[in-house]
Amino acid sequence: MPEDLRNRVDRQPTVAGLSEADLLARIFPRLRMEDSHTINTVLGPGDDAAIVAAPDGKTVISIDTQVEDQDFRLLWPNGYRTTGFDVGWKAAAQNLSDINAMGARATSMVVSLTLPVDTPVSWVEDLADGLTAGIRELGATQCSVAGGDLGRGREISVTVAVLGTLDGGRPVLRSGAQPGDILALAGTVGHAAAGLALLESDVAVDTLAPAERVFVDLQSRPRPPLDAGPAARAAGATAMLDISDGLLRDGGRLAAASNAGVALDPAALARLAGLLAPAAELLGADAEAWVLGGGEDHGLLATFPAGVQLPPGFTAIGSIHALGTDEGPGVLTARRPGDTGGWDHFAH
Amino acid sequence: MPEDLRNRVDRQPTVAGLSEADLLARIFPRLRMEDSHTINTVLGPGDDAAIVAAPDGKTVISIDTQVEDQDFRLLWPNGYRTTGFDVGWKAAAQNLSDINAMGARATSMVVSLTLPVDTPVSWVEDLADGLTAGIRELGATQCSVAGGDLGRGREISVTVAVLGTLDGGRPVLRSGAQPGDILALAGTVGHAAAGLALLESDVAVDTLAPAERVFVDLQSRPRPPLDAGPAARAAGATAMLDISDGLLRDGGRLAAASNAGVALDPAALARLAGLLAPAAELLGADAEAWVLGGGEDHGLLATFPAGVQLPPGFTAIGSIHALGTDEGPGVLTARRPGDTGGWDHFAH
């Protein structure tokens, strides 16, 4: 925890003063959900493991970690302080998005928290509230937290493993795109990148207008379109993934897995970039670069056979083509042919 | 990573030089298992989520994290260097143990790795080898790694979420112990604590005799008895949990969940302490304290109705009794009545 935040919270009770059991007793009540959310929880927290229903005999499973100073800062250059609520919400959102991207629905989460001993108890309670609110407000109507683990570390780290069900259907993989398919987007792209740029700028967060502030909010609490994944599967999507590392990089993954070419429609890109104008103008930044390289909105990128009516929430942004001679799988844009930049945890 | 280890590995390639995709390409081949292990993996690594079979319509799920300098040190006072293999093995072992403790069999794991940029690539490869070897050698014959996540951090952190199946049976909970039940142990207890004491001592690791070294090995690469959990369930165990935080503390949890008293047999404790004599004599330590307070062997503590033939691997170490007037749930020993010490991540 940065020194200034450590000082700021000096008078607050920290986790150092609590046993693991005491801390769990503070967290569990905040993870309670309505019955509809716990319908898949056969056995909840309190034993060596939890038990979750898998009605069709299969469990979809993904895992994702957020680490302090890598995935979020407690204090940003523009003065914004990341709350426990933000971190909890984001942990829920990015994991729910992985289930969404298979065309599945989330059934349960387990959470492993690593906390420095000087973490305020209130920050951890706030994280539990954010997890619960994220699950509920994003519409994961049959998902709840079934269990977890607590431990110490030098930096805050939050790992969520999320379980889901395909309701007897087939998953939508990255590898099924066919030449002639429509490429479509659900949710936003570039908003979280614009928010990140604002957080890292010297424009004080409390001076932002609502039309600018919205991007900071999307970076802190992403809103993956959880209805869109199962809807895309039902509509016959041939391939799908969530955009966590940018349109170029994730589009490149879809192209590589499907051994095809992805072409982005310049008019669609211009329209998506236009949505980012308030932040781009404030910072003198390139909105299209946010659209192409920005992840963390957790929108869905999916392909559909030509002629299919796109499900609600999806708009066409390009197409799939067969690879030409000497053409490798990749993403073509008017701007940067073949470039599949974007976010990589190690090489940047 | 401690400065001296950082220097030691200065000439080795680190993860800083690799993209996430490159690093995954180094890890995946080392996670490959025989077909029998992957029988439950419907969809393995490479998409947004994995898919795992849940043949009886239920998935047992647990999650656990190991953090550098909390759960292991890269360099111990006695000179032992924790290998990536050790950390991978231990991550597998302690998670497989949670599934075992429900009376279930593991079907799959997903792994989230947080790595400092100066981590040698060879150390990460070694970790993957240790995970694979742990799963295989501990006898999790239908379990493999189905997916994962990689990210950066200031300290090494390894989180595993493990999935399992009860094969249509009922789980063995902590809460089912009945007065008159036999209390039984499978696997070892106190060995890992003796190993920890040796690691933290000034007795150089390379001077240890095999009868002493065995405890260091058990601390570094625990060997939970994975056949014992399903066998206990089949034999009618009324309650069960794994001993991860010590016999007193975990016995106390069983007592509390079952609202009963646990009495440990002094003769059984003396016999368990006797097994630790080589390490206790070397360090001038109290072997019975290791038996009562030491976790991390990941043995199983289970209760069985009187008269039941204990399944292979279990030995009786005490009994369950109804609570007397003014008696709270807890563990009675000849030595320290009511004390339920042991390991707590925060309060110690």
B347/A157 CB distance under 8 A: no
Do A283 and A195 lie in a common domain?
Answer: yes
Confidence at residue B295, expressed as pLDDT on a 0 to 100 scale: 87
Do A216 and A72 lie in a common domain?
Answer: no
CB A145 within 8 A of CB B98: no
pLDDT tens digits along B212-234: 999 999 999 999 999 999 999 99
Do B39 and B118 lie in a common domain?
Answer: yes
pLDDT surpassing 60 at residue A343: no
Do B117 and B206 lie in a common domain?
Answer: no
Amino acid letter, B280: A
B338 is in an annotated binding site: no
Contact with chain A for residue B61, Cβ under 8 A: yes
Residues 242-281 of B with CB under 8 A from A: 242, 257
B105 is in an annotated binding site: no
Do B199 and B133 lie in a common domain?
Answer: no
In a domain, B92, yes or no: yes
Contact with chain A for residue B108, Cβ under 8 A: yes
Residues 186-225 of B with CB under 8 A from A: none
Confidence at residue B20, expressed as pLDDT on a 0 to 100 scale: 86
The residues facing B332 across adjacent strands are B263
pLDDT tens digits along A242-289: 999 999 999 999 999 999 999 999 999 999 999 999 999 999 999 999
The residues facing A159 across adjacent strands are A65, A112
Q: State the DSSP string of B146-163.
A: EEEEEEE-SS-EEEEEEE
Mean pLDDT by 10 residues, chain B (348 residues): 52 86 91 94 95 97 96 96 97 98 98 96 97 98 96 96 97 98 98 98 97 97 98 98 94 96 95 97 96 94 97 97 92 63 49
Do B222 and B254 lie in a common domain?
Answer: yes
Do A69 and A28 lie in a common domain?
Answer: yes
In a domain, A94, yes or no: yes
Amino acid letter, A177: A
In a domain, B172, yes or no: no
Q: What b/e string do you get for A175-195 counting C-beta neighbours within 10 Å, with b at 16 or more?
A: bbbeeebbbbbbbbbbbbbbb
B157/A65 CB distance under 8 A: yes
Q: Which of A243, A241, A242, A245 is nearest to A258 (CA)?
A: A241
In a domain, A205, yes or no: yes
Do B161 and B189 lie in a common domain?
Answer: no
- What percent of chain A clears pLDDT 90, i.e. is strictly above it? 87
B347/A69 CB distance under 8 A: no
Do B107 and B140 lie in a common domain?
Answer: yes
B155/A154 CB distance under 8 A: yes
A148 is in an annotated binding site: yes
Confidence at residue B346, expressed as pLDDT on a 0 to 100 scale: 53
Rounded to an integer, the average pLDDT of A90-100 is 98
In a domain, A344, yes or no: no
B343 is in an annotated binding site: yes
In a domain, A310, yes or no: yes
pLDDT tens digits along A153-204: 999 999 999 999 999 999 999 999 999 999 999 999 999 999 999 999 999 9
Backbone angles phi, psi at A23, to 5 degrees: -65, -40
Rounded to an integer, the average pLDDT of A211-231 is 97
Choose among B49, B152, B171: nearest Cβ to A345. Answer: B152
Q: What is the CATH number of the domain that holds A312?
A: 3.90.650.10
Q: How far is CA B196 from CA B71, B97, B121, B230, B247, in A?
A: 11, 19, 27, 29, 16
Look at the alpha carbons of A89, A217, A301, A342 in this order and tell me if their dihedral is positive or negative: negative
Choose among A63, A148, A257: nearest Cβ to B112. Answer: A63
Rounded to 10 deg, the angle between the A191-199 and A210-220 helix axes is: 100
Q: What is the CATH number of the domain that holds A62?
A: 3.30.1330.10
List the domain range (segments joined by +) for residue A227.
Answer: 182-332
Question: Pick the residue with more confidence: B277 or A295?
Answer: B277
Q: How far is CA A70 from CA A8, A79, B66, in A?
A: 22, 17, 19
B149 is in an annotated binding site: yes
Backbone angles phi, psi at A217, to 5 degrees: -65, -40
Look at the alpha carbons of B225, B230, B232, B238 in this order and tell me if their dihedral is positive or negative: positive
CB B114 within 8 A of CB A64: no
pLDDT surpassing 60 at residue A24: yes
Contact with chain A for residue B24, Cβ under 8 A: no
Question: Pick the residue with more confidence: A229 or B2?
Answer: A229
Do A196 and A143 lie in a common domain?
Answer: no
In a domain, B206, yes or no: yes
| Domain tally, chain A | 2
Do A200 and A305 lie in a common domain?
Answer: yes
Model ipTM over 0.90? yes
Contact with chain A for residue B60, Cβ under 8 A: yes
Do A92 and A128 lie in a common domain?
Answer: yes
In a domain, B171, yes or no: no
Mutation target for B interface from A59, A114, A166: give the one with most B CBs within 10 A.
Answer: A59
